Amino acid sequence: MIHVEEKFSASGVASRAKELRDGGADVNQVADILARADRHAANYGIGIILDGFGGPMPTSPELVAQTLRASNDGLEATYLSSKPLQAELLQQVLSWQRIPESYWQDFLLVTPSDAGTGAVNTAVQLYLMMNEQISALAVEELSWPVYQSIAASNRVGFASYALQAEDILRPTAITIMQAGPHNSTGYICSSDIIQTRADAAARKGLPIILDRAYPGFENAEVLQNQGYDAVMQRSSDHYLLPFLQSGCSVSIALSPTKAFRSFALRPCGLTLVYEPDANKRKLLESAMITVNRSRGSAFEHPATRGFIRGLVENRSVLELEHGETLQRLAQAQKLWKELLQGHPLAEAFTSQYAGMFRNLFAIDGCEEAFYEAHIYPVIAGNRCRINVTGIPQDEAKAQGHIDVFAKLLRF
């Protein structure tokens, strides 16, 4: 029997998208599911680093090798733990983040089992344990939708604040700020606003969580001329140093998912906690043990042991791979800028914006028009989120995609 391929229908794809959303799939999943069903698809919705040829960049070779090594170590039925590496791991994480050594003695580290979500959720749970008066989670507007799930799972309320707001701290709320290009708009918070927030946190004695899923991504375009160390140092000085200098309590939630391209491996997250008050730091350390045990994080996946050993033994190799990620991002952003010259959407690629994503306004009826062009961004209401690394390296193909975006989106 000869199989006849079903004729492509943009309206049919839009109907399928509605079915998926109505069935509980989030908008990120919808974009990926639809793209996988279309052999001509250009996937601009998936939240991973894309290589310019229609696929993802390869998983970190260092983490693959370390994970295989950890798996082989586990062939014998015995308990394995990275706890003996914890002190050295802390130093390597602080070095990777270019945090001055003068602050190291006031840091704690826990490795929650679930990458970025786990790193943020662990910080939230720590501060909830420290203050029973907290009743809400406050995040930047248009932020990562999982924040709402974190609030719900911890049985607290949810609120958002403007990207440029200075007064963001409330005594009954845990505040999260993205310490890198904003997910999902790419907005880069100014130094003045960051300093104001840090000073307020110290003055009010309130903690803040810095979600750092995209370390250094805002400086990708200077990598070629200034080098990796400068990229990371500039990022640390901009997003982290003001909070350390102010002496406030701060948690830094780190994930290897984007920086080291560990999407399929799913190793642990990293929750750094800075607390200059020795008594509070001791209480936080006890809370860390409790939270980590309650999440089952004391039992490590081989990918987690591999990631930890990779950071401890071969951080320089992982940093080279992080640099490759930044290089691809810089290449993609450069192409967007060149091909959008003179168009209003070019505003989304000025120095005020950077990183993997942009979140733009969409015109009515854009969904079917995108699918007709076999382009799959994330569409939610009147907003469209684009993964900028989805742009093809082939300039003719890239121009064709950008022509569609320029027609259907506005800044």
- Ramachandran angles phi, psi of 201, nearest 5°: -60, -40
- Ramachandran angles phi, psi of 57, nearest 5°: -65, 150
Q: Does the pLDDT at position 279 exceed 60?
A: yes
Count of Cβ atoms closer than 10 Å to residue 84 Cβ:
8
* Residue type at 293 in one-letter notation: R
pLDDT per residue over 138-186, tens digit each?
999 999 989 999 999 999 999 999 999 999 999 999 999 999 999 999 9
Question: Strands across the sheet with 409-410, in order?
Answer: 378-380, 383-387, 357-362, 409-410
Residue 226's alpha-carbon distances to 90, 217, 323, 411, in angstroms, are 26, 14, 12, 31
User: Residue range 189-211: average pLDDT?
Assistant: 98
With DSSP H G I counted as helix, E B as strand and the rest as coil, what are the percentages for the chain, rounded to 5? Answer: 50, 15, 35
| pLDDT of res. 293 | 81
Q: Does the pLDDT at position 210 exceed 90?
A: yes
| pLDDT of res. 3 | 41
The reply to whether 10-58+321-410 and 61-319 are identical in fold is: no
Provide the whole-model pTM.
0.95
With cut-offs at 50, 70 and 90, classify the pLDDT of residue 5: very low
Question: What is the spatial distance between Cα 255 and Cα 180, in angstroms, rounded to a whole number?
Answer: 12
Q: Does the pLDDT at position 296 exceed 70?
A: no
pLDDT per residue over 250-276, tens digit each?
999 999 999 999 988 999 999 999 999
Quickly name the fold that domain 10-58+321-410 has.
Aspartate Aminotransferase, domain 1 (3.90.1150)
In the chain, DSSP finds a helix count (H) and a strand count (E) of: 15, 13
How far apart, in Å, do the first and last CA atoms of the chain sit? 50
Question: The tokens of 369 are what?
Answer: 């028009």
**Angle at alpha carbon of residue 329, lines to 324 and 331, rounded to 5°:** 95
Tell me which CATH code domain 61-319 carries: 3.40.640.10
Residues whose CB falls within 8 Å of the CB of residue 90, separated by 6 or more in sequence, listed in order: 104, 107, 108, 109
User: Residue range 337-350: average pLDDT?
Assistant: 96
By the 8 A CB rule, do 287 and 108 touch? no
| pLDDT of res. 131 | 94
pLDDT per residue over 60-118, tens digit each?
999 999 999 999 988 876 778 898 999 999 999 999 999 999 999 999 999 998 889 99
Residues whose CB falls within 8 Å of the CB of residue 83, separated by 6 or more in sequence, listed in order: none
pLDDT per residue over 353-383, tens digit each?
999 999 999 999 999 999 999 999 999 999 9
Q: What is the DSSP letter of 82?
A: -
Count of Cβ atoms closer than 10 Å to residue 10 Cβ:
15
Question: What is the spatial distance between Cα 265 and Cα 118, in angstroms, rounded to a whole number?
Answer: 15
Average pLDDT, the chain: 94
Residues whose CB falls within 8 Å of the CB of residue 331, separated by 6 or more in sequence, listed in order: 52, 393
Domain coordinates of the chain in residue numbers?
10-58+321-410, 61-319
With cut-offs at 50, 70 and 90, classify the pLDDT of residue 294: confident
Residue 79's alpha-carbon distances to 82, 173, 309, in angstroms, are 10, 39, 16
For residue 182, give the nearest of 172, 173, 171, 194 by alpha carbon.
194
Question: What is the spatial distance between Cα 328 and Cα 334, in angstroms, rounded to a whole number?
Answer: 10
Lowest pLDDT segment from 52-56, 192-196, 274-278? 52-56
